[in-house]
């Protein structure tokens, strides 16, 4: 089958997001080929699909204005700086045709060790901001249920984080979910919210992508699933 024929079939069979990732992956393969031919650099295809999907997500994120300019300089996930403070990363993944979104939650200590992780699904709200708020509320309840009370919360929900860190009164549709979050966060001894680029939230995103394919809730305590172990390791050693 010719490449053009394969792409025509893919265009008809795949979802828009997967097809976009496929196109980016093809471009990355071609770039590796050019480096090998013209610069004599050995090609590396390690985690190519994951890198392509991350590239697509970041492009969409920037186009939607959901990435704060101040965070563009952040290039990697960083562990919490203080012992006894834990970092909670949360992300969600969705497809246009599905009525639900996959949620990825991961809690790590200042050594970057995974202390807890979860994959789950929730119903997708009509308003993307409401979806993000529901996802964050779910993550906080999970964190609360396993007795982590000192947390730094990171997500790529820039608009939501801005609202959470603001003192202004919110009259948007998301206000009632923000009230829930405010009640939940009062049970923590320490909590902070910050937004980060997707490239710094890869572990939570990998869990969210996995959640889309599973029907049951997965909760892991002091255990790192094999499928995203390389991502966790690269976060520590970058």
* Residues 40 and 88 reside in one and the same domain: no
Cα separation, 6 vs 25, in Å, equals 14
Q: Is-contact 101 124, C-beta < 8 A?
A: yes
pLDDT in tens, 77-121: 888 988 899 999 999 988 767 788 899 999 999 988 899 999 999
Cα separation, 32 vs 69, in Å, equals 30
- Whether 4 has a pLDDT exceeding 60, the answer reads yes
* Residues 113 and 21 reside in one and the same domain: no
* Residues 26 and 92 reside in one and the same domain: no
Cα separation, 81 vs 109, in Å, equals 9
Residue-number span of the structural domain to which 14 is assigned: 3-63
Q: How many domains does the chain have?
A: 2
Is the full-model pTM beyond 0.95?
A: no
Helices 175-185, 128-145: inter-axial angle, 10-degree rounding: 20
* Residues 28 and 128 reside in one and the same domain: no
Of 181 and 173, the one with more pLDDT:
181
pLDDT band at 138 (very low <50, low <70, confident <90, very high): very high
* Residues 113 and 97 reside in one and the same domain: yes
Residue 213 φ then ψ, to 5°? -90, -5
* Residues 81 and 150 reside in one and the same domain: yes
- Whether 70 has a pLDDT exceeding 60, the answer reads no
pLDDT band at 225 (very low <50, low <70, confident <90, very high): low
């Amino acid at each position: 089958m010719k490449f053009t024929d394969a792409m025509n079939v893919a265009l008809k069979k795949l979802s828009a997001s997967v097809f976009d990732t496929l196109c980016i992956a093809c471009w990355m393969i071609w770039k590796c080929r050019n480096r090998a031919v013209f610069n004599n650099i050995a090609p590396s295809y390690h985690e190519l699909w994951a890198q392509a999907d991350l590239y697509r997500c970041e492009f969409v994120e920037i186009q939607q204005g959901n990435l704060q300019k101040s965070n563009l300089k952040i290039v990697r996930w960083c562990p919490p700086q203080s012992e006894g403070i834990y970092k909670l990363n949360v992300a969600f993944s969705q497809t246009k045709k599905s009525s639900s979104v996959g949620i990825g939650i991961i809690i790590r200590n200042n050594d970057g060790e995974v202390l807890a992780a979860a994959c789950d699904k929730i119903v997708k709200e009509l308003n993307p901001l409401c979806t993000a708020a529901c996802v964050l509320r779910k993550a906080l309840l999970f964190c609360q249920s396993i007795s982590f009370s000192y947390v730094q919360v990171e997500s790529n929900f820039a608009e939501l984080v801005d609202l959470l860190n603001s003192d202004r009164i919110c009259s948007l549709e998301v206000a009632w979910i923000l009230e829930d979050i405010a009640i939940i966060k009062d049970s923590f001894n320490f909590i902070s919210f910050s937004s980060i680029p997707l490239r710094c939230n890869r572990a939570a995103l990998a869990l969210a992508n996995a959640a889309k394919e599973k029907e049951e809730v997965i909760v892991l305590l002091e255990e790192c699933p094999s499928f995203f172990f390389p991502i966790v390791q690269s976060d520590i050693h970058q």
